[in-house]
Structures are given as structure tokens and as C-alpha cells.
Amino acid sequence: MKAEEIIQCPAGAMFRHPEKGLVIGVGPFEECADWPEGRTAFYVNDFFLSAAKPWKIPSEVVVLSESCLRKEPLPVQWEAPSPAAFVQVFEEIARELKSGRLVKTVPAVAEKGVIGEGHSPKEIVLAAASAPDYLYPYAFWEGDRGICGATPEILFRQRGRRLETMALAGTARPEDIEVFRDDAKEIHEHEIVVRALLSRLSPHGNLVRAPRGIMELGSLVHFLTPLALDADEDLSPGFWLNLLHPTPALGCQPCTPETLGLLKQWRERLRCPASFGAPFGLGMDGEVIMLVAIRGVEWRGNRLSLTAGGGIVEASSVTHEWREFGLKRAAIRRVLGLA
């Protein structure tokens, strides 16, 4: 199979494994509720984990070592998102933060677009597959719907009792890196995520936290803290997923049915699709890598949603956040070759 042929499949999945190469699943898929250990399968769900059978076993698996470049940018007619809707949601969030009911939440704004005549959204899959090495490209499509992106964030990587995860939160432009390093508000935002991971994982084994570092992504930089757990027991990927998702990098702190309900409402008002920030995974050869599905698009027919969000804490400013969301959307357009 040639890279270009991937997108001819009516249903398919793509995951660029950091060591194995580009893993392509050709549909139709058999679906199941639990990780089908021993088979290669993709995990596809929405942010609120509403799929009953999120594991998708492809009829055929192809691993490609070549990268598949698509050189021409895909023409898209974009419709700018509404600043007024964002300002209103931000004010409501600010009230919750001030009252102390909420410490952090992560709204996300979608920009809508229509793909130019004669093009298919599946062309985005080829561009994503050739994203820079520090990103994890992913995609899943069935019929006229699909998702595709290239994320820097993993929810966890698990083999047996060994689990690796990360806190990735706090954002700046590369030209501001020296100030960012000591920015108390960004560090605070980041450490909320680190603390949540520490408290959720430490009851389950020996947990080691690496020092906070910086992940450089070309047009954006983030704080990154890697964590590794040697678990006391053999627990399933489903267990780790329910424990970790959503971390406060994409969800909220505290994370309760009430705060998640508020987040759901805010996301919907900002036209954010349910797939944004969901876990997206690959289970292969006894190992599971679960990504955080951000830095991507969702499509239905020729209509695209391109979504980006960011953490809001009490010290956040509406102008600064609006600009950060815009920078993230621009980074997505660049990586996915969207004009």
C-alpha cells in the first residue's frame, strides 16, 4: 500500500508510532468495549467518553516507514470565531474562579471552514502524517466524518505495569521563552496539572516526577513535566484512562460532575466539537499509547472545525487567552497544510 492510497479507504485510522512508523488501520472496523490485547486496535471516543465500544479493530493493518508529504496547501474558506461569545464565557468562568468553586478550566473555541471544491478532507491525513517528529499524528474517518491532527500531548503510554505520562500546560511564543520560564501565572497553571497527576497516580505504585522543562514546538512553547509510574498491580488501559482523563490540561480542577457540566456548556457555546481533547489511542504489540486529541480538525462532509483552547485561572486575562487560542489555531493550520 502506498501512502496516498490510505485516503482512498472509506473507513480508516492513522497513528504515527514514535518507533514503529505510520500505522494505518483499514476499515471496516470491529468494535469492542475493552482493550483487545493481542490485536492491533485504535481507541476513538469523545471528550465525555460516551462511546460504548471505543476500541476499533481494523480489517487490515499496514505499517509504512515512508512519510507522505502533501505539498499543496488545502484551500479552505474560513469563518472567524466570535470574540463576543468568548468574552461572555470568559466572564462566567472568571466568576466561578473568583468564588473558589473552580481553580482552573479549559474552554476551547472552534473556527469553522469549508473545503474548496475538488478537494477531500482526507488529504489532511497525508499532511498530518508528515508532521515534525515531536508531534503524534492521528486520524480516524468513517463515511463522510472524521478527525485528524498532530498532538504534542500523550495521556499515557503503558506496557504492563509501567506507565508514562506528562503534564503539558502553560503556553507562550518562542520569542518570549526567557520570560515564560519564570512566569508565575504559567507555572501555577502547569503545576495544577502536575499536582492532579501526582494525586491520582501516587496511590497506585512508585511514581517519579521529572523536573519541569520546556517543550519547543516551532511556533509555540509549553511547560512539560514527564512522570513515570511502576504500578503495584496489573491494571487495564481502561482503568488508567478513566483515572487520568480529563487531566486539568484539558478538563477542570476540581473535576466533579458539576464542573464538567459547566465545561461542556462553555465548550458547546464556543462551537467546540465533542471530539476535541478526547483520548485517541493505539494498542499494538502489548503496548497502549493514548494521545490527547488536540491540535487537529474534525470534518463532516466538506465542513471543518478547527479547535484550540487553553487553561484559564484566576490571574488569566481575556485578551491574552484570545490571542493564545489564535496562535494555536495558526500552528494547526501550518502543520496540517490548511490555507
Ligand X SMILES: C=C(O[C@@H]1C=C(C(=O)O)C=C[C@H]1O)C(=O)O
Q: Is 99 exposed, middle or buried (0-12, 13-18, 19+ CB in 10 A)?
A: exposed
The count of chain residues that interact with ligand X, using the rule CB under 6 A, is 17
Decide: residue 228, CB within 10 A, 0-12 exposed, 13-18 middle, 19+ buried. Answer: middle
Q: Does 153 bind ligand X (CB under 6 A)?
A: yes
Q: Is 157 in the site for ligand X (CB under 6 A)?
A: no
DSSP label at residue 214: E
Segment interacting with ligand X (CB under 6 A) among 130-138, 167-175, 225-233, 237-245: 167-175
For residue 294, state whether it binds ligand X (rule: CB under 6 A).
Answer: yes
Show the cell assigned to 52. Answer: 460504548
Inter-residue contact 17 to 48 (CB < 8 Å): no
Whichever of 281 and 309 has its CB closer to ligand X, that residue is 309
Record the cell numbers describing residue 221, joined without a space: 512553547
Chain centre distance of CA 38: 26
CB of residue 197 vs ligand X: minimum separation in angstroms?
Answer: 12
Of residues 40 and 105, the one with the C-beta less far from ligand X: 105
Residue nearer to ligand X on the CB measure, 108 or 194 = 108
Q: How far apart are CA 167 and CA 193, in angstroms?
A: 6
Pick from 168, 221, 229, 304 the residue near ligand X by CB under 6 A: 168
Question: Which segments within 11-86 are labelled E, that is strand?
Answer: 11-17, 21-32, 41-44, 55-64, 76-79
Q: Which of 16, 56, 70, 295 binds ligand X (CB under 6 A)?
A: 295
- Asked whether position 105 contacts ligand X by CB under 6 A, the answer is no
Q: Which stretch binds ligand X (CB under 6 A): 110-118, 128-136, 168-176, 195-203?
A: 168-176
Helix H or strand E segment including 282: strand 279-284
Q: Does 310 bind ligand X (CB under 6 A)?
A: yes
> Does 104 help bind ligand X (rule: CB under 6 A)?
no
Distance CA 175, CA 106 (A): 24
Q: In degrees to the nearest 10, what's the CA dihedral of 198, 151, 263, 255?
A: -10
Q: Please report whether residue 171 would count as binding ligand X according to CB under 6 A.
A: yes
Applying CB under 6 A, which part among 34-42, 82-90, 133-141, 164-172 lies near ligand X? 164-172
Least CB distance from residue 249 to ligand X, whole Å?
Answer: 4
Residue from 16, 157, 204, 222 in contact with ligand X (CB under 6 A): 222
Q: Which of residues 239-268 bind ligand X (CB under 6 A)?
A: 249-250
Based on the shown chain and the rule CB under 6 A, indicate whether residue 170 belongs to the binding site for ligand X.
yes
Is residue 321 within 8 Å of 310, Cβ to Cβ? yes
> Does 16 interact with ligand X (rule: CB under 6 A)?
no
Residue 309 engages ligand X in binding (rule: CB under 6 A): yes
Does position 194 interact with ligand X (CB under 6 A)? The reply is no
d(CA 222, CA 324): 12
Residue 61 vs 187, nearer CB to ligand X:
187
Cα R_g (the chain), whole angstroms: 19
Query: Between the CA of residue 74 and those of 118, 121, 128, what are the distances in Å?
Result: 10, 8, 12
CA distance 242 to 247: 10
Q: Which residue is nearest to ligand X (CB)?
A: 311
Nearest residue (CB) to ligand X, 159 versus 320:
320
Per CB under 6 A, residues contacting ligand X are 106, 108, 153, 168-171, 222, 249-250, 294-295, 308-311, 328
